[in-house]
Amino acid sequence: MAMQSSKSLSQRNALAIGTVLLLLLTALMACFATLRTARAESLYTITEYDVPTAVSGSETITQGPDGAMWFAVCDDNKVVRITNSGVITEYDMPAGSCPDAITAGPDGNIWLVEYDANKIAKMSTAGVVLAEYDIPTSGANVYAITAGPDGALWFTEHEANKIGRITTSGAFSEYNVPSSGALPYGITKGPDGALWFGEYDYSKIGRITTSGDITEYPLPSGSYAIFLVTGPDGNIWYSDYYYGVAKVNPYTHEVTKYDIPDVDSDTFGQITVGADGNLWFPDYYGNKIWSITTAGVLNSYDIPTKKFSPWGMAAGSDGYIWFPSYNSGKVDKMRVAEAIPTTAEIVPTLSLTPDHVAGISADTRLNLSIKLKNFGPGGAGFVSFEVPIEPTILLDYANFGNSGMWVTKVTPTSVRVELRQLDNGSSVSGSLVLKPNPDNLPTAGTELSFRIQVTYADEVRGEQATSNKVSVIFGESNLDVNEDTIQTLTPATAKAGDKVAVNAELFIPNEKVVLWYTGPDEKSADLGYVWADENGKISASFDTTGLASGSYSFVAHGLKSEVRACTIVTVS
């Protein structure tokens, strides 16, 4: 139907509902990595197609018997067919017809309303108008049409205040709506073998049997039942002109309303059931698409094209929701993918210059460089870490530039640094400049360690932590060490319950070496630490008691040399 005065559009405000859920993920560690966590994204895709010539006045849309989508464009006097892959064909209608409401018929044809011509037309899926039937009542202004449970087509005569029926051979029947001036609008086949229709001006919903008996039921005051559909829960759902949607139990007639918390939206368009079992409906002025679960959970999705003005909406055979633009000559399809949690992996890297200080004075400065990189596919939020400060060391100043990191708290024993978020693949760097405490200088030979533990949140788990450590020795010359190298040891096999000996001679003499393993389920376990001997050798054992069969990555990491020794132990 063309936009009439009785369908003047009001404006309210659309608020997109979205929440970000942050959860904690189990650590993933292997020879090259330490711990992993993540944040999931809300995923939906909208694909847009340009209609060649039919650009204005597109309202309702339907899935045809051929699996393609069909919609009418009143202002351009055309019917448009689009395949799931986006191939568009336009069919001209007789002059002055203004094709509008459209549906798939039980006879394998497309049935549509010629609004201005006061006719109902039958079109083949090849785009041929097979027949046009004059509606008995002049000026009926048919707003909606649907296939009934009796093999006929049923439609609403908005201005004539009637419900019409037409057989596939063109025989008409008309039934007066009891309430005068009710302005019947949308109509749908109910789960009870009857048809249900909305009364635009009377805050009522009507039920008509296939024999023409009509019963009206009240809706909450101020309701405007526009388009209707039977939901997967067996209720009758309708789009409410101003407020959102509502459902009516067809047996108890109980009404439950779900208002959109917006002041600039209008939800008078078609409502449909998606492949996901949710109800979908357009927001004409808010330029959004809304979905609602049968339990009443609302979600909204923005349409990229401004002033798209969605009105019609129907589920396609491809699982997408299809909707044409009323104003822009486009037709879109959208699908919401299941939100799959993705993992983040923030790894801190520390360096200290100089790492050995021959002399000790209050003028000595230590530059503790800190780099955080997210190696995971998901983003992380609420990132923070603390740098413990020894009594012999003071914070001189922080240098984080435009990294987004900032110092949020300084105490005599620690410095706290925070970062709002770190996207996947991103890294940030900065430094803390430290100095000896002039009132409590470190003594020669003292080794001071700076360990940071980075905590962050994501959508898989609420909080995760990774740590790293760097040391400085006062009163000692630099050592020649290998930095950040990985040594692969000979793989080993064992039966569950065996202890596997791990020996490596790779480390700095007398340095501390931390141990862990990662199992076939990609979960990690801390095995404590050992000390390298005076030759840089460690001897450790990997106890396989209680472990399931599979491959385990055993890692030994020198905290000072940054050397990692890794071996794969296969447990049978």
Q: Please tell me the distance from the alpha carbon of residue 490 to that of residue 296, in angstroms, as a whole number.
A: 59
pLDDT band of 128, cuts 50, 70, 90 = very high
CB within 8 A of 521, min separation 6: which ones?
A: none
Instruction: Give the Cβ contact number of residue 463 at 10 Å.
Output: 14
pLDDT at residue 390, as a whole number:
84
pLDDT at residue 97, as a whole number:
94
pLDDT band of 462, cuts 50, 70, 90 = low
Taking residues 482-510, what's their average pLDDT? 75
pLDDT at residue 568, as a whole number:
87
CATH of domain 31-336: 2.130.10.10
The phi and psi torsions of 7 (rounded to 5 degrees) equal: -120, 30
Answer yes or no: is pLDDT of 106 > 90: yes
Q: Which residue has the higher pLDDT, 178 or 522?
A: 178
The segment with the largest mean pLDDT, out of 11-15, 109-113, 296-300, 544-548, is: 109-113
pLDDT at residue 567, as a whole number:
85
pLDDT at residue 482, as a whole number:
40
> Per the structure block, which two tokens stand in for 538?
């460690």
Distances (CA, A) of 166 to 120, 148, 205, 568: 9, 10, 22, 75
Answer yes or no: is pLDDT of 392 > 50: yes
pLDDT band of 90, cuts 50, 70, 90 = very high
CATH of domain 346-474: 2.60.40.1530
Taking residues 276-302, what's their average pLDDT? 92
Q: Please provide the average confidence, as pLDDT, over all residues in the chain.
A: 83
Would you kindly state where each structural domain of the chain is located, as residue ranges?
A: 31-336, 346-474, 486-571
Answer yes or no: is pLDDT of 295 > 80: yes
pLDDT at residue 450, as a whole number:
81
Range from 4-18, 69-83, 273-287, 468-482 carrying the lowest mean pLDDT = 4-18
As assigned by CATH, the class of the 486-571 domain is: mainly beta
pLDDT at residue 125, as a whole number:
97
pLDDT band of 486, cuts 50, 70, 90 = low
Q: Find residue 92's DSSP bridge partners.
A: 78
Taking residues 461-473, what's their average pLDDT? 69
Answer yes or no: is pLDDT of 411 > 70: yes
Identical fold at 31-336 and 486-571? no
Distances (CA, A) of 460 to 352, 378, 509: 33, 10, 41
> Per the structure block, which two tokens stand in for 460?
């898989």
The pLDDT tens digits for 441-454 are 887 767 778 888 88
Answer yes or no: is pLDDT of 1 > 90: no
Looking at this protein, which amino acid is placed at residue 247? K
Q: Please tell me the distance from the alpha carbon of residue 532 to that of residue 555, in angstroms, as a whole number.
A: 14
The pLDDT tens digits for 425-439 are 899 999 999 888 888
> Per the structure block, which two tokens stand in for 27?
């650590």
Answer yes or no: is pLDDT of 151 > 70: yes
Answer yes or no: is pLDDT of 131 > 50: yes
Answer yes or no: is pLDDT of 13 > 70: no
Q: What angle is formed at CA 559 by the lines to CA 553 and CA 563, rounded to 5 degrees?
A: 55
Q: Which letter does DSSP use for residue 5 in this model?
A: G
The pLDDT tens digits for 309-367 are 899 999 999 999 999 998 888 999 998 866 566 778 888 888 877 766 666 777 788 88
User: What DSSP string describes 476-536?
Assistant: --------S-EEEPPPEEE-TT-EEEEEEE-SPTT-EEEEEEE-TTS-EEEEEEEE--TTS
pTM: 0.57
Q: Please tell me the distance from the alpha carbon of residue 27 to that of residue 434, in angstroms, as a whole number.
A: 32
pLDDT band of 42, cuts 50, 70, 90 = very low
pLDDT at residue 182, as a whole number:
95
Answer yes or no: is pLDDT of 230 > 80: yes
